[in-house]
Amino acid sequence: MAAGLNLQPQTVNGRLKLDLSNQGLTSIPDEVFDITDLEFLDVSNNKLTSIPEAIGRLQKLYRLDAHDNMLTSLPQAIGSLQKMTDLYIDGNQLTEAYACSLTLRC
């Protein structure tokens, strides 16, 4: 388990949320992808350069906040998240052409 991080999700507005924002993370701990009931993941304001394909295991995820990192791409697995309705990725290093290829609203 990642030292010093609280990887226990909380119920917020009836949704299971894990807030890892503002932690200086350079990667998302592997243990996060074992929380298969997770519905809301906030990894904003970190130093992430990528999101692992393992995100595809979070099939109940409806919201991902990953804004203000250093992401240059997103994993194809995001496209398999059928409940995903909210994806916040502004403030990264994605190109508009790349984002549009993932069928995001452009």
State percent of the chain over pLDDT 70.
86
Domain count, the chain: 1
Question: What pLDDT is recorded for position 1?
Answer: 40
Return the exposure string of 4-24: e unless at least 16 CB atoms fall within 10 Å of the residue's CB, then b.
eeeeebeeeeeebbbbbbebe
Return the SS3 of 62.
coil
Could you tell me the residue range of the domain that residue 41 belongs to?
10-101
Q: Is residue 20 part of a domain?
A: yes
In this prediction, residues 76-81 reach a mean pLDDT of 91
Question: What pLDDT is recorded for position 89?
Answer: 93
Q: Is residue 45 part of a domain?
A: yes
Question: CA 105, CA 47: separation in Å to the nearest integer?
Answer: 24
Q: What is the pLDDT of residues 38-78, one digit of tens each?
A: 999 999 999 999 999 999 999 999 999 999 999 998 999 99
Residue 47 belongs to a domain with what CATH number?
A: 3.80.10.10
Q: Is residue 3 part of a domain?
A: no
Q: Is the pTM here over 0.95, yes or no?
A: no
pLDDT of residue 92 exceeding 50, the answer is: yes
